[in-house]
Structure 1
């Protein structure tokens, strides 16, 4: 991800304070831009129009509309409450990342990203225990990837906070990160599509086993976040902070009772292929299930007896070997 892909929050706020209309292009394909219209008191994300019907957000201060500019039709995702411009800007950047980096349509990007808006607006409070553990595992993985891929590619590929099916989308592979406190390598799978690889892009599951640690041992989530942040330059740091906010992190003060975690074992890598034990739409359809009648699926995998994959990408194996434990 290029260094000038998004304005950092400080420069964005400074631009708003001038009270002058502006449009900032976002490098990538398709062409997207962030704009500010002081006369209408709104900021927005502008994208090429696509035929997907009217986009209803169900929100008062986040709207989508079709506009005609220079003879060409566009879709605009607009935040129309100045008090929400900073938080709204983070959401618009995440929508843009979904469109350009994950190949989502505007409709899909907006619909999926809206799930994070409630987290951005709710009062500060601690993460749920389950989310705390999950975020911890994702950040241990992110720390490992930064050391081998570089900060821009690693942070830019972390899509877990925006509710992607897979936690990391890298150039050649996707990663799904699962973390457990169980003595067995047991992990919850939250949907039928969570372990479905994308076409022509291998999916690897990274399994972390943690255990509760005493004073002076392991790390808290706040300490791990501080360690990751310390390794980044200002621009990548701003990107990371947007993603942490979308993930529900409100700072160490809001997580004052954060638990300490220590790695129980080294992380294990599994290639999610046709031999991997999981439920998918294809496997259920093949068994004769009527998928239209199944509205939600959540199940638990025990991978304790499943052999790890040996033909892992060398850089991934090296990264997790050097930085995948706490």
Structure 2
């Protein structure tokens, strides 16, 4: 066979070869748009004629899922992750697996995970179980590298900035920045006159908050401690990213003076904010304002709850407290947090 004939066959083979699938792209902003509006949506990720792989946004903003069709030779993936659930389902006569997360607050991260799984199936041609295992293995190898602030801290900073901007409107930026003592390593977020304030922010329907240490809900001598439970929900296009809140706060501080913005920047840095690692999750308040409680009137653990033999020997206590449906404190709180908004 001559060179010309070989070249002709190679060219014919290139023509007959199906085009290589493109990497899967589904921006989080698109998904968040539907979540924020409570609308369902379905995106087919695999080519027509291939086993179905689809990305599903449930209605009422309840969550997202990856549907993967299984052929006779395919096995269903098994999840070693408590936050990822794999269910076998029948859909229009197709044998499918459905990947969902048991942690609604982790939807943004779960979105990245299932797109990585889908990419391995659709683009790389992996079987579903192998695609899932490879993705989990790869992500596990990177657990030591944070993508930025963890979700709990991002939401917490949202809430603290909301309070900071509210305080700046009543006592000025100098007083508000003096009051924001959390980034300096103090036990409580704000020191206000003769009282302290701890604000916790959650994206869950129940007011469940993680408390770090026995001192976080313990009063300083002679200073009553107030606790604010602030709930947010995904806001879609009308919501605020943490970057939006930071920019709004910095712009407001800059209007007060260069010194105020410089001081705010130092506090933001101490709080863990990195402008080079912004997030794209948008949030909006779920309620007209936070639930405000006196710390002494809510469930909590303090050093006084430890037996005497444990004092000085137990460190790093972390627990979750649920304050859903508790009665708000009676009387004026140290700061007006009614109708609290993200900056």
> What is the TM-score normalised by the length of structure 2?
0.53
- Residue aligning to 2:118: none
Q: Is the 8 A contact 1:209 1:267 kept in 2?
A: yes
Post-superposition offset of 1:322: 4.6
- Residue aligning to 1:245: 269
Post-superposition offset of 1:161: 1.4
- Residue aligning to 2:290: 267
Mapping 1:64-79, distance limit 5 Å: none
Confirm or deny that 1:310 pairs with 2:327.
no
Q: Is the 8 A contact 1:166 1:174 kept in 2?
A: yes
Distance 1:322-1:276 versus aligned 2 partners, 3 A rule? closer
- Residue aligning to 2:244: 223
Distance 1:290-1:254 versus aligned 2 partners, 3 A rule? closer
- Residue aligning to 1:109: none
Post-superposition offset of 1:263: 0.7
Q: Is the 8 A contact 1:185 1:209 kept in 2?
A: yes
Q: Which has the larger radius of gyration?
A: 2
Residue range with higher mean Cα deviation, 275-284 or 191-200 = 275-284
Distance 1:124-1:202 versus aligned 2 partners, 3 A rule? same
Mapping 1:151-230, distance limit 5 Å: 151-215=173-237, 217-230=238-251
Deviations, residues 207-226 of structure 1 (Å, cap 9, x unaligned): 110112212x1201111111
Deviations, residues 235-266 of structure 1 (Å, cap 9, x unaligned): 11111000011111121x421x3310111112
Confirm or deny that 1:139 pairs with 2:138.
no
Distance 1:281-1:231 versus aligned 2 partners, 3 A rule? same
Question: How many residues are aligned here?
Answer: 195
What is the CA RMSD across the aligned residues, in angstroms? 2.1
Q: Is the 8 A contact 1:160 1:167 kept in 2?
A: yes
Flag structure 2 segments of 5+ consecutive residues without an equivalent.
Answer: 1-144
Confirm or deny that 1:321 pairs with 2:338.
yes
Q: Is the 8 A contact 1:269 1:312 kept in 2?
A: no
- Residue aligning to 2:45: none
Deviations, residues 79-107 of structure 1 (Å, cap 9, x unaligned): xxxxxxxxxxxxxxxxxxxxxxxxxxxxx
Post-superposition offset of 1:289: 6.1
Confirm or deny that 1:301 pairs with 2:315.
no
Secondary structure (helix, strand or coil) at the match of 1:321 reads coil
Post-superposition offset of 1:325: 5.4
> What is the TM-score normalised by the length of structure 1?
0.56
In 2: Cα distance, 1:139 partner to 1:280 partner: 27
Post-superposition offset of 1:155: 1.2
Secondary structure (helix, strand or coil) at the match of 1:199 reads coil
Q: Is the 8 A contact 2:227 2:294 kept in 1?
A: yes
Post-superposition offset of 1:230: 1.5
Post-superposition offset of 1:305: 2.5
- Residue aligning to 2:259: 235
